[in-house]
A = this chain, B = another copy of it.
Amino acid sequence: MNIGQAAAASGVSAKMLRHYESIGLVPKAGRTEAGYRTYGEAEVHTLRFIKRARDLGLPIERIRLLVGLWRDERRPSAEVKRIAAEHVAELRTKIAELTGMCETLEHLAAACHGDHRPECPILRDLEGRNRTRRPKPAAADRRAADTAGGQATR
């Protein structure tokens, strides 16, 4: 198989395939005399593994670990489970974050009449006037916001 066929067989694009090789996620493919990469069933098998892991949102570095464990006949399943659990935790965090954003925005949009008039609760909220709510749970970083209230003309 050449790279195009391997790509079609695995679901990983040829472009990504070369990329994965370049970062060492998959070993360097063999080459024909003309320089074309060649792939066999084993390589495609690995690529499919990677593809599925990517479909689950696993980042490359974690996939690298998983592939290593996968190849290791004596791996402890606890290792695999730990990696999966870490990813689940991150997914949950992300989901919660997005859900919060989504709810806030839905709320604001629901309050907006959405017609030709300029009055708009969404803009009002973003502006800071009339903040309807907005708990803003994650990633606290706002510091010294009050200095704006003063002059600070230096």
- Residues of A near any B CB (own CB < 8 A): 1-2, 5, 8-11, 41, 44-45, 48-49, 52-53, 55-57, 66, 69-70, 72-78, 80-82, 84-85, 87-88, 91-92, 94-95, 98-99, 101-102, 104-106, 108-109, 112-120, 122-123, 125-128, 136, 141-148, 152-154
Contacts and interface: CB of A to CB of B under 8 A. Distances in A.
A117 B56 contact: no
Contact of A8 (B55, B76, B128, B147): B147
Contact of A126 (B9, B49, B136): B49
- Number of chain copies forming the complex: 2
A49 B105 contact: no
Given A1-B152, A49-B127, A125-B52, A92 B87 contact: no
Chain B CB within 10 Å, residue with most, of A56, A73, A92: A56
